[in-house]
C-alpha cells in the first residue's frame, strides 16, 4: 500500500466497499473479525457498519458464541435489497430468473420466444423481463444479464444464426434504453463455462475449457480462474478452425453445419461411420486446445458420446500430445444450470463493490 493516494471521500468509499465485500463473502461476521481481516481500526469498522445498517445494506443476523463477555453482533449482507434479472436463450426458448445479491435463485420460468422477426423477438424478450420484474415484488433491479448464442463485443451481437434479426444490433443499449438499469450481454458458451467453473470446479482447477456440440458448436476458456475472451471476444469460436474434415461433406458445408449434419445423420441412421467422423473432429478440437492452452480439465456436452467414445478420444489425443498433457475429460448431460448461474455471476461481478485506490498521484 506504499505511495497510494486518494481524496478522503474516495478512501471512505474504498473502505466501505471493502467492508461490504467482506460481509458478503464471509458473513455472518462480527465487527472485530472484519477489523482483523481488513486491518482497519475497530472504530472505522464500527462507524461504517452502522452506516451500512442504517441504509439497510447489511443487517444483524444474530449474536456470536459466548466467550465469557458480551456477545458480539453478527452481520450479513441484505441479499434481497436488490435483485438480478438473468435471461439465457437456447433454441426457441428463454430461461428467465430472478436472483438475489448472493446469487440465490428466487424465481425461475421458461418462456417460448418467437425468433422469426426483429419485432417478435424483442416483444417476447420484453415480456420475459416485464414478467420477472413483477415477480421481483418491488425490490430494486441491480442489473439485467443476458446470455445469447452469438459473439458479443461492447453490447453488439454478431454471428447469431438462431436469432438472425439481432445480427449487428446493440442489444445492451436496446435493453438499457427501455429499463434504465445496468445491462450485461455475453456469449452463451462463455457464460456457461464460467457458471459451471465457479459452481463446481474453481476449487479443483485453475485452467479449464468447455466444449459444446449439440445444436451448435463452441467452447469457453478459463485461465487462472478467469474467463478468457480474447482481444475481440472471439476466443473459443471453434467453427472457424482450419482442420481437416469433409469425408461426407458433399454439399460443401462449413464446419459447424457439417458437424450438425453428421449428428443428424447419425441419429437417424445409427451408422457409426458418421459418429467416427464426429469423434475425429472432436479429437482435433481437443488436440488444438491442449497444444495452445494446456487446460487441466475439459468439459464436454455432446449427447451422442458414450463412455467408450470418451475413452477413444482420450487415447487418440494422448497418443499425439502425451498422457501427461491430456486434461481431465468430463462429460456433462446438461449445461442449463451452469448457463443461468453464469449470467447471474456475470451481473454480480460487474456490479460488485469494486472501488479501488490508484497508485498514481492524483488518481482514484
CA distances from 275 to 206, 243, 255, 257, 311 (A): 32, 17, 15, 15, 14
Q: How many CB atoms lie within 10 A of CB 16?
A: 18
Q: Which of 103, 87, 85 is nearest to 95 (CA)?
A: 87
Q: What is the mean pLDDT of residues 35-55?
A: 95
**What is the DSSP code (8-state) at residue 71?**
P
State residue 360's pLDDT score: 36
pLDDT digits (tens, 9 = 90+) for 212-241: 998 888 899 999 999 999 998 888 888 888
CATH class belonging to 8-77: mainly alpha
Structural fold of domain 203-333: Nucleotidyltransferase; domain 5 (3.30.420)
pLDDT at 361 over 70: no
Which element (helix H / strand E) includes 177?
Answer: helix 171-179
- Total number of residues shown for the chain: 364
pLDDT at residue 136, as a whole number:
74
- Between these two residues, 262 and 136, which has the higher pLDDT value? 262
Whether 244 has a pLDDT exceeding 50, the answer reads yes
pLDDT at 5 over 80: no
Q: Is the pLDDT of residue 359 over 70?
A: no
C-alpha cell, 143: 442489473
Hey, do 8-77 and 82-191+340-351 end up sharing a CATH topology, with the first three levels equal? no
Residue 75: pLDDT over 70: yes
Cβ atoms of 208 and 222 closer than 8 Å = yes
Q: How far apart are the first and last CA of the chain?
A: 14
Q: Does domain 82-191+340-351 have CATH number 3.30.1330.40?
A: no
pLDDT confidence tier of residue 255, bands split at 50, 70 and 90: confident
Say how far apart CA 83 and CA 85 lie, in whole Å: 7
With 90 as the cut, is the pLDDT of residue 242 above it?
A: no
- The C-alpha cell at 37 is 481481516
Q: Give 364's pLDDT tier (boundaries 50, 70, 90).
A: very low
Q: Quick check: 288 pLDDT over 80?
A: yes
Residue 219 grid cell: 467452447
Confidence bin at 125 (pLDDT 50/70/90): very high
pTM (global) more than 0.75: yes
**How far apart are the C-alpha atoms of 35 and 45, rounded to whole Å?**
6
What pLDDT was estimated at residue 358?
Answer: 44
Q: Quickly state the pLDDT bin for 355 (edges 50, 70, 90).
A: low
Mean pLDDT of the chain, nearest integer: 89
- The DSSP 8-state label assigned to residue 216 in this structure reads S
Instruction: Give the pLDDT mean for 156-177.
Output: 95
Every domain of the chain and the residues it spans: 8-77, 82-191+340-351, 203-333
| C-alpha closest to that of 148 among 123, 169, 134 | 169
Res. 145: pLDDT tops 50:
yes
- Specify the pLDDT at position 104: 94
Asked whether 169 and 117 are in contact (CB, 8 A), the reply is no
Q: Indicate if the pLDDT at residue 312 is higher than 90.
A: yes
Amino acid at each position: 500500500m506504499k505511495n497510494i493516494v486518494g481524496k478522503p471521500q474516495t478512501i471512505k468509499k474504498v473502505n466501505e466497499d471493502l467492508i461490504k465485500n467482506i460481509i458478503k463473502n464471509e458473513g455472518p461476521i462480527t465487527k472485530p473479525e472484519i477489523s482483523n481481516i481488513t486491518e482497519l481500526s475497530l472504530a472505522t469498522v464500527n462507524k461504517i457498519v452502522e452506516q451500512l445498517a442504517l441504509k439497510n445494506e447489511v443487517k444483524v443476523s444474530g449474536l456470536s458464541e459466548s466467550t465469557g463477555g458480551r456477545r458480539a453482533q453478527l452481520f450479513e449482507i441484505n441479499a434481497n435489497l436488490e435483485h438480478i434479472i438473468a435471461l439465457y436463450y437456447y433454441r426457441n426458448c428463454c430461461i428467465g430468473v430472478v436472483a438475489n445479491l448472493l446469487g440465490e435463485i428466487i424465481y425461475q420460468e421458461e418462456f417460448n420466444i418467437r425468433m422469426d422477426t426483429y419485432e417478435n423477438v424483442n416483444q417476447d424478450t420484453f415480456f420475459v423481463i416485464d414478467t420477472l420484474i413483477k415477480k421481483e415484488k418491488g425490490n430494486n433491479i441491480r442489473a439485467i444479464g443476458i446470455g445469447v448464442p452469438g459473439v458479443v463485443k461492447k453490447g453488439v451481437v454478431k454471428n447469431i444464426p438462431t436469432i438472425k434479426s439481432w445480427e449487428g444490433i446493440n442489444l445492451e443499449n436496446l435493453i438499457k434504453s427501455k429499463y434504465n438499469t445496468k445491462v450485461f450481454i455475453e456469449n452463451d458458451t462463455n457464460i456457461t463455462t464460467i457458471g459451471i467453473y465457479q459452481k463446481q470446479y474453481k476449487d479443483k482447477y485453475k485452467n479449464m475449457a468447455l466444449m459444446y456440440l449439440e445444436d451448435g458448436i463452441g467452447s469457453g476458456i478459463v485461465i487462472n480462474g478467469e474467463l478468457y475472451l480474447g482481444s475481440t471476444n472471439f476466443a473459443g469460436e471453434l467453427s472457424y478452425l482450419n482442420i481437416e474434415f469433409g469425408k461426407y461433406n458433399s454439399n460443401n458445408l462449413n464446419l459447424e453445419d457439417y458437424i450438425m449434419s453428421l449428428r443428424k445423420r447419425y441419429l437417424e441412421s445409427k451408422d457409426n461411420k458418421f459418429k467416427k467422423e464426429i469423434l475425429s473432429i472432436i479429437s482435433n478440437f481437443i488436440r488444438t486446445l491442449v497444444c495452445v492452452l494446456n487446460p487441466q480439465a475439459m468439459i464436454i456436452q455432446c449427447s451422442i458420446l458414450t463412455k467408450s467414445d470418451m475413452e477413444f478420444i482420450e487415447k487418440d489425443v494422448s497418443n499425439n500430445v502425451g498422457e501427461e498433457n491430456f486434461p481431465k475429460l468430463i462429460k456433462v448431460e446438461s449445461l442449463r444450470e451452469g448457463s443461468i448461474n453464469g449470467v447471474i455471476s456475470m451481473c454480480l461481478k460487474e456490479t460488485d463493490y469494486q472501488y479501488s485506490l490508484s497508485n498514481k498521484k492524483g488518481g482514484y
